[in-house]
Amino acid sequence: MGKFRVSNSEYVQPFHRLQTQLSDLISETPPGERLPAEPDLARQLGVSRATLREAMRSFEAQGLIRRRQGVGTFVVGHPNIIETGLEVLESIEKMARKIKLDVSMGDLQIKEIAASPTHAQAFAIEEGSPLMDVRRVIFADNRPVAYLIDIVPEDVLMPSALKDGFTGSVLDFLLRQGSPQPISSSTEIQAIPAPPDIAHALEIQRGDVLLLFVAHLYSTDNRVIAYSLSYFIPGYFKFRVVRDVTSEHPFA
C-alpha cells in the first residue's frame, strides 16, 4: 500500500516567513524600482534560487512585480484590476472603460493561415481552408496584461478592414460592423504555464501561470465566426461567476 506524503511543517513555516520577507521588501520598494538580482536576493534571504522563484510567483500573479528576462524584477505597485462577470461577454476595452483605465494595443500581427484540424472542427470547414490569424498584446497603464489571438474566416473579417479604426477587440469591431452579428460565446477556462512566445510578448517568465480563455464566438445564425485564445496575467483581472441555486431538492 502506497504512503501519502504529508506537508512538512518545518518547510511550510520558513516558506511562509520567506513570503512575508518578500512582501515587506516589495512594499518598501517604490514602484518602477528594480529588486536585488535573484542570486543576491536568494543569498540575502538564505534560500535557494528555486525556492525564491516559487515564492515570487504569487506576487507576480497579483501584479505586484514583473520579471523581465535578462533585465530583472521590478516592483509595479498595486495594479488597477479589470473586473467583470463571466455571464457577460465584453471586450477588455469595455471593461477598462468602466474603471477609467487606459488600455492600448501593441503591435498588430495579421497573417493568412491554413485551417488546422482544430480550426476545421471549430468552423465546420475543410482542413487547409484559408483563415485569418489576428494577434496582439493589450497594455494597461503601459504594462502588457493580455495576449489575444483571434482566428476568423476571411468572409467574416478581411485584413484590409483592420487597417483603420481597429483598437484591439475583434468582438467590438464585429459589433460595429453589424454583419455577421455576434450573439453568444462558448468559453473554456484553464490555468496554464506561459508558453515561451507568449511569455516573451507579455514580458514574463516562461512557465509563469496565465489564465487561458478558449472561446467560440457565434453569430445570430449559430455559425462560429471567431475562434479565440486569450491569455491573461491573473493579477490584472478578476472574473466572477453568478450562479443560481437549483430549485430541485438534492435529497428528493
Q: How confident is the model at residue 248 (pLDDT cuts 50, 70, 90)?
A: low
Mean pLDDT of 126-153: 93
Q: What counts of helices (H) and strands (E) characterise the chain?
A: 7, 11
Residues 6+ apart with CB under 8 A from 106: 136, 137, 138, 139, 144, 201
Residue 207's pLDDT is 81
* Ranges of CATH 1.10.10.10 domains, the chain: 9-75
pLDDT, averaged across the chain: 85
Q: Which CATH class is domain 82-240?
A: alpha beta
Over residues 138-151, the pLDDT tens digits come to 998 778 889 999 99
* Ranges of CATH 3.40.1410.10 domains, the chain: 82-240
The alpha carbons of the chain give a radius of gyration, in whole angstroms, of: 22
Percent of the chain past pLDDT 90, that is, above it, reads 38
Q: Which CATH class is domain 9-75?
A: mainly alpha
Q: How many CB atoms lie within 10 A of CB 28?
A: 9
User: Does the structure show a pLDDT above 70 at 213?
Assistant: yes
Residue 1's pLDDT is 36
Residues 6+ apart with CB under 8 A from 165: 173
Overall pTM > 0.95? no
Residue 133's pLDDT is 96
> pLDDT higher for 54 or 39?
39
Residue 17 DSSP SS3: helix
